[in-house]
Amino acid sequence: MIPARAQSWLAIRWLAFVAIAGSGAVSDLLTKHFIFQWRGLPGVTPPWWLVEPYVGIQTAVNPGALFGFGAGWGSFFATLSVIAGVGIFVWLWRFGAINSWWLIVSLGCVLAGIVGNLYDRLGMWYLPEYPAEWRNGVRDWILFQYPPYVWPNFNIADCLLVCGAIMLTIHSFKTPAPESANSRSASHP
């Protein structure tokens, strides 16, 4: 039996995780919806520049994963997304990541990105009149370039995934390695 104080502490942490993941996913899905309504499908309108010619809004559909690799593998990437999402909950619950605010925030960002892009990969935004190659594609709209270099368009989910991954990398360098059984027995005869 978990004491009442520990239960409320745990509930607050789970609530924070769900709030981060939920608000991130909703932000991604709403921005994609509104940007695609405003700017139209890819190729319909020219980029709308915030800072010409560096930062703008341009709709695109990525049929693959990172930088468009794996085009046509939408079902595979959707399956990986579900596995990663389940893994996050296992890490939080079973392996105690819920005890770290840093991990709550970083894993919340990662899950938000997974959910936002998974929605697209499952074709939940797709309409029959769209090109078939977009069926399991991810909607992107943030345009960043430094001519002649053009970065592939991305979305809020991608930003959340990258921020969460950076936080996890930082955490991995700051977390001490667990002692091995051999080093413990050698130091404690």
Query: Residues of the chain with pLDDT > 70: what percent?
Result: 90
Residue that is written with structure tokens 């935004």 in the block:
125
* Calpha distance 31→33 (Å, rounded): 5
Angle subtended by helix axes 156-174 and 101-121, to nearest 10: 150
Please report, in tens digits, the pLDDT of each residue of the chain (189 residues total).
667 777 889 999 999 999 999 999 999 999 999 999 999 999 999 999 999 999 999 999 999 877 777 787 888 999 999 999 999 999 999 999 999 999 999 999 999 999 999 999 999 999 999 999 999 999 999 999 999 999 999 999 999 999 999 999 999 999 777 665 555 555 555
Catalytic residues: 140, 158
* Calpha distance 46→165 (Å, rounded): 32
Buried b or exposed e, range 88-123, using 16+ CB within 10 angstroms: beeebeeeebbeeeebbbbbbbbbbbbbbbbbbbbb
Q: What share of the chain is helix, strand, coil (3-state, %, to 5)?
A: 60, 15, 25
Q: Which of 52, 110, 105 is nearest to 86 (CA)?
A: 110
In this predicted model, what pLDDT tens digit does every residue of 129-176 receive, in sequence order? 999 999 999 999 999 999 999 999 999 999 999 999 999 999 999 977
Amino acid at 99: N
Rg, Å, the chain Cα set? 20
* Calpha distance 185→189 (Å, rounded): 6
Question: How do the domains of the chain map onto residue ranges?
Answer: 4-174
pTM for this one? 0.88
